Structure 1
């Protein structure tokens, strides 16, 4: 239970890819398309392509850095090693607060599909506590449960695509739709919101201390998981747009269920609800694991309370960090709105990847796997998408970053005074 205790390397490439898939699919398919359609209409397809390209650039940076620094913490560690303590802290803080909001969003998504009316908030809190308990028992159990969840979700998504594209309404939704009706700002805002759906591959890098042969496994897993998710997102986005249309999609609380109902296959609606609930659970499961490990790395360096660096002596997981995370997410579930959480999360994650791209740009030739132009494009893309997020998300994100900066300044000042006495 000491702060310097190491985690156990138990994950291979297949399990690492599945953890990335579980992180991304749950967030993207069932939570991001409606707000993206509200911002850009049918132009969300262009936004999806932009978000996917920025995510690819970021993925190459994360893969290259993770191969050189195969330890828990992701860009928090990379920023410290390549750029200095402050950039590393900003990356870690942005990741922790953004992904804590994502945890709450996924818990609420699960409850929206699985809970009886009026019981959504209590069920969401129960889901957070249950999955924190799963992670507490060890990372191999996390990977095993993720395998089941990803399999269920992919089957359900395949069913939705087949039913949607074979119904007689398979082109009605896009009749007369203009891909550019939302204008450049709307399309870029949809890309920023959809980026929320691609951020799961970072979970693989943050678990670098638990992956076997990390220099080989992590780059393969990150790029492989992202490529698979891009294909799935494109198919599902096209299906919901051609069946529902951008206006109906923008206001839908459960667009995939509506696709099935319009296809006169109402009997499949409960199956889709099960798949949605499973997807949200998969995302939440991996999010808890990733945030806990970044908090562990920050606590090891004193950027968060040292108590959070505790590693369980039997299960070799950061159990203090995960217990604290479960408590904070439970409070957020009771107080926040799902759509607002998506924008706030995107703000934090885009800042995180901005630092990742800058850090990767500084790597030497011996550690370089991809051209520097990809990191330059990734950094520019992150800045552009942050600037076009909803104003409330930007203001909230700036305030929370300021709180983190203030916390670290106070801690450093107190440490300096202690050294002087």
Structure 2
């Protein structure tokens, strides 16, 4: 890319280790732990706990690939940037485009989810109004700087973590090993399917890498933050899933859209259901905040290389954030929360995630040897696991993903012609 396409203003490195871990946890501990555990229990029975461990390993391999790339290339954009730097611009663009499409659509879903959970907790609240208010609040928080938004994120994540820890402690007296039998009614096929589902729930850790340009001492901080996020998330997921399955059985978990709520309702300790309700609300809020972090920074990174309009690379002179990207991404999420998301994009989510992390692993494999923090078998294992999980994606999901990618390629060609014509 031409030198003039590099942003004159830079984002401020205001995220310390605790803040970066908070960003990762805020992205991971969301719909996955409150909803996907029930879906995974339905396809594998109690053996979804084994699927959880496999998903944890897959996420760890992929996370280490992201971490070592982010340590060497600590710019906004994550895998978009690594694709450009290590592979080629088209692979980098593929990662960035699919990230934007899936996360914008997911942001609308999460906002609606927040409104729905809040309406359950506080009767009379209109879900869509609550969704819009949450989005507006988080847009403002983002606008006033990553440091302030990071502190807000830590508060939100802390409430979610405390609610889940309370759930685990309260559920111990109700745990019954009989609820874990038969352990694997669907055999290894069910375990593999559950691991694929649960892998997608862990993938939010990459938000740390996407914000690489705002992390203090990124070479040391990002790898530490990714590892702490993954280890703590896996332990938390395992504890919650084990208590929920042992408390009410996987048939109950699978038969509801609120598996933790169903489990909490049977616990003898008072107030667990209400606490889990609060945790679900803050979890959705945390995920929405992390979506705004990631989307606005991806827009910033792509505009810097002219894969998106140049105005998106502008940095606020005082707050040092990509303010136009924040307002644009927040505005799109608000519209999606009011009018609904595009189903073709939502259905392409699993394809998008696997493509994104496959590119990450390929870039990690292709890194210069002297830049690598971890042995080569780690990204190789991550790539193989991504390809293995692709076997469980429906053909229509792959088609939706490829269609979305093809549209992105056409868009990039148009952008290149426009900027070439401008000289």
TM-score (norm 1): 0.91
**What count of residue pairs does the alignment treat as equivalent?**
415
Partner of 2:184: 179
Unaligned ranges ≥5, structure 1:
none
Q: Structure 1 residues 277 and 401, CA, compared in 2 at 3 Å: closer, same or farther?
A: same
Deviates more, 1:14-23 or 1:119-128: 119-128
By how many angstroms is 1:42 displaced? 2.7
Alignment of 1:80-91 (within 5 A): 80-91=84-95
By how many angstroms is 1:343 displaced? 5.7
Matches of 1:338 and 1:53, distance apart in 2: 32
Q: Structure 1 residues 411 and 275, CA, compared in 2 at 3 Å: closer, same or farther?
A: same
Q: Structure 1 residues 64 and 279, CA, compared in 2 at 3 Å: closer, same or farther?
A: same
Matches of 1:217 and 1:148, distance apart in 2: 20
Matches of 1:61 and 1:371, distance apart in 2: 10
Alignment of 1:229-244 (within 5 A): 229-244=233-248
Q: 1:228 aligns with which of 229, 232, 235?
A: 232
By how many angstroms is 1:377 displaced? 1.2
Partner of 2:146: 139
Partner of 1:75: 79
Is 1:318 the equivalent of 2:322? yes
By how many angstroms is 1:114 displaced? 0.6
SS at match of 1:179: coil
By how many angstroms is 1:47 displaced? 2.3
Deviates more, 1:33-42 or 1:272-281: 33-42
When the two chains are superposed, the root-mean-square deviation of aligned CA atoms in Å is: 2.4
Partner of 2:134: 127
Q: Structure 1 residues 306 and 414, CA, compared in 2 at 3 Å: closer, same or farther?
A: closer
Is 1:258 the equivalent of 2:265? no
Contact 1:260 1:268 survives alignment (8 Å): yes
Partner of 1:294: 298
Deviations 1:16-72 (A, max 9, x none): 111111111124212321222333333322322222111111111111101111111
Matches of 2:420 and 2:202, distance apart in 1: 40
SS at match of 1:241: helix
Q: Structure 1 residues 33 and 382, CA, compared in 2 at 3 Å: closer, same or farther?
A: same
Unaligned ranges ≥5, structure 2:
1-5
SS at match of 1:40: helix
Q: Structure 1 residues 114 and 34, CA, compared in 2 at 3 Å: closer, same or farther?
A: same
By how many angstroms is 1:156 displaced? 0.9
Contact 1:35 1:339 survives alignment (8 Å): no
Alignment of 1:328-339 (within 5 A): 328-336=332-340
Contact 1:173 1:244 survives alignment (8 Å): yes
Q: 2:45 aligns with which of 35, 41, 44?
A: 41
Partner of 1:352: 356
Partner of 1:30: 34
Q: Structure 1 residues 406 and 376, CA, compared in 2 at 3 Å: closer, same or farther?
A: same
By how many angstroms is 1:342 displaced? 7.1
By how many angstroms is 1:339 displaced? 11
Q: Structure 1 residues 369 and 78, CA, compared in 2 at 3 Å: closer, same or farther?
A: same
Deviations 1:326-358 (A, max 9, x none): 122223324558999876433212211110100
Q: 1:149 aligns with which of 156, 164, 183?
A: 156
By how many angstroms is 1:101 displaced? 2.8
Is 1:17 the equivalent of 2:21? yes
Deviations 1:173-211 (A, max 9, x none): 32x334251652x43333232222211211111111111
Contact 2:292 2:326 survives alignment (8 Å): yes
Contact 2:261 2:276 survives alignment (8 Å): yes
Contact 2:345 2:404 survives alignment (8 Å): no
Matches of 1:418 and 1:275, distance apart in 2: 51
Matches of 1:418 and 1:101, distance apart in 2: 32
By how many angstroms is 1:124 displaced? 1.8
Matches of 1:89 and 1:340, distance apart in 2: 20
Contact 1:189 1:390 survives alignment (8 Å): no
By how many angstroms is 1:413 displaced? 4.3
Partner of 2:3: none
TM-score (norm 2): 0.91
Matches of 2:73 and 2:265, distance apart in 1: 48
Partner of 1:111: 115
Q: 1:218 aligns with which of 202, 219, 222?
A: 222
By how many angstroms is 1:131 displaced? 1.0
Q: Structure 1 residues 342 and 391, CA, compared in 2 at 3 Å: closer, same or farther?
A: same
Partner of 1:170: 176
Deviations 1:110-134 (A, max 9, x none): 2221124782233223222221221
Is 1:249 the equivalent of 2:253? yes
SS at match of 2:271: helix
